Structure 1
Amino acid sequence: MLNYDEKYERYLTEIDQALDRYLNEADTLYQSVISAMRYSILGAGKRVRAILLIEFCKACGGTQQLAMPFACALEMIHAYSLIHDDLPCMDNDELRRGKPSCWKEFGETTALLAGDGLLTKAFEAAASSTAQANLALRAMMELAKNAGTSGMLGGQVIDLEGEGKPVDEARLLKMYSMKTGALINSAAKIGCILAGADEERISLSHEFAEKIGLAFQIVDDILDVTGNEKILGKPIGSDVQSHKTTFVALHDLEYAKNKAIKLTEDAKSILTKFALEDDFLYELTDRLAVREN
């Protein structure tokens, strides 16, 4: 049996290979945007969302092959959101994953189109699913809802409109659950849905994702204060510079760390109700809470 690091590296390789196949277009007339799409998604990122989707699918009796089209779709949507977030009209970040942001490398126009291209390619990938039609349709609805105005996109609006304004904890947590938590929620739930899981396990996956999604964002807030830019792969202190309210700003660093740990432990307690093939998902959950990037 593979240990955690071996299994994680295998996931990274196999997910990247699948993404490469979806983005392997050779038409020279629009190669610039394909190059920008590939630059932004291949060979970088933790692939947390894709891995969660595959792991929950397998935990409910499905297979990696069954999960992979939607796993790739989630990664494409996540990558498109990062491209657009980095644009000068939004967060104006010049560094992403340790290299120039897409707009710095290819220009704003191509970056905008690359984000659009990844979003539409995501639904092309999801539509290639071999899952039962009713399950694939439900998964597609889950994906669209959580990527749109009631999920990630809406969370970005709340985030941008809160810059320079006092934000209370209720509004902040709502934004976190949408901007960051929505796609993590999609990952866990879609994995269960594709495998034909019952409603109880789908609900449990939702509870797990709510907790780990919030913990993930709180750790992001912590890293924006304490992180190493070279390890993090993006500028630190950007939230302060943008006058954004964060969980650390509302409370303090120690409280935020303890909250992330508590959410992580609560999430792991939910995993005991799934028939997992090994301890990989437990360790992944732990590592997300103590990560450096």
Structure 2
Amino acid sequence: MSEFETYLSTVLDDVKNSTVKEAMCYSLMAGGKRIRPQLLLSTLKAYGANAHVGYKAAAAIEMIHTYSLIHDDLPAMDNDTLRRGKPTCHVKYGEANAILAGDALLTQAFVLGANACEEADVNCHIVSLLSRYSGADGMVLGQCLDLEGEAKKDITLEEMKEIHYYKTGRLLTLPFLCAAYLTHNEKDIPVWEKIGSLLGLSFQIQDDVLDVTADEKELGKNINSDADNNKTTYVTLLGIEDALSQANAYYEEALCLLDTLKINKEPLMEVFVALLHRKK
């Protein structure tokens, strides 16, 4: 991923200098696991394609993910002060600049998506995917449902699953679909949809567990934030042991679906295993 990281560090070079650009670069290059780019690039390899084919699409997804974190951390949302081991964007640059930096990362992602490859029709599909999976029928819908869920004392497990199907699962599904279009394997999209949704649920459960079990320095963000916000999570509904068991079950189901695809799954397995055993 070092080559991709180098590429990512250049994607804002043509943006005019401003405090907003500085805030964009600060948050985009603050570190992070780059899970979504890893999934896209590994899926390309699984199809026998060169990972470089997906750099622009992968960067676009990472920019959208970063924008979502900037806005999630705002006082009006989760009011967090630490992200990836550093002060959150609004703490460092002020709330107004953080909002603008998030807005700018989102819109700049579409510039990359529109030029993802040399095939105009594929680029149209990529832009459409970026819009639908991050917007009002995707991640943003999940955030909306999450906010509404915080006001409820009796949120159910099924409601929790719906929240994270959108809030977490949509952006984890997006890399697979982009890779399918970039390699002209659209026939596999229904399977990738299921795999991404299952990974999203597994990932979110692990997040909820890490919030109460991880070390703040290792995690890179504030711990016990869910409890501080009186938020219902998989841990509060199921307990740590049963929550982890559910996360493993979703993960195993995703692996079974992976076996149904005509790909070399080895490049993806490294990412999948890292997801299951992550500590931050």
* Aligned residue number for residue 122 of structure 2: 135
Secondary structure (helix, strand or coil) at the match of 1:162 reads helix
RMSD, aligned α-carbons: 1.6
Structure 1 position 214 matched with structure 2 position 194: no
In 1: Cα distance, 2:47 partner to 2:274 partner = 23
Contact 1:60 1:196 in 2 (8 A): no
In 1: Cα distance, 2:15 partner to 2:204 partner = 37
Shift of 1:185: 0.8
* Aligned residue number for residue 18 of structure 1: 7
Structure 2 CA distance for partners of 1:252 and 1:131, relative to 1, 3 Å: farther
Shift of 1:76: 0.1
Structure 1 position 71 matched with structure 2 position 58: yes
* Aligned residue number for residue 168 of structure 1: 156
Structure 1 position 115 matched with structure 2 position 102: yes
Shift of 1:272: 2.3
Contact 1:264 1:286 in 2 (8 A): no
Shift of 1:169: 1.4
Q: Which runs of 5+ in 1 are unaligned?
A: 1-10
Query: Which of 193, 208, 211 does residue 181 from structure 2 map onto?
Result: 193
In 1: Cα distance, 2:142 partner to 2:263 partner = 32
Shift of 1:131: 4.3
Shift of 1:277: 4.7
* Aligned residue number for residue 36 of structure 1: 23
Q: What TM-score comes out, normalization by structure 2 length?
A: 0.95
Cα-to-partner distance string for 1:190-215 (whole Å, 9 max, x where unaligned): 1111110041x222211211111110
Shift of 1:275: 4.9
Shift of 1:58: 2.8
Q: Which runs of 5+ in 2 are unaligned?
A: none
Aligned residue runs from structure 1 range 251-270, under 5 A:
251-270=238-257
* Aligned residue number for residue 180 of structure 1: 168
Q: What TM-score comes out, normalization by structure 1 length?
A: 0.91
Number of residue pairs matched? 279
Give the letter aligned to residue 12 of structure 2.
Answer: L
Aligned residue runs from structure 1 range 216-235, under 5 A:
216-235=203-222
Structure 2 CA distance for partners of 1:131 and 1:249, relative to 1, 3 Å: farther
Structure 1 position 88 matched with structure 2 position 75: yes
Shift of 1:139: 2.1
Shift of 1:270: 2.2
Structure 2 CA distance for partners of 1:160 and 1:278, relative to 1, 3 Å: closer
In 2: Cα distance, 1:221 partner to 1:141 partner = 31
Structure 1 position 285 matched with structure 2 position 264: no
In 2: Cα distance, 1:193 partner to 1:262 partner = 29
In 1: Cα distance, 2:47 partner to 2:15 partner = 38
Shift of 1:276: 4.7
Shift of 1:62: 3.2
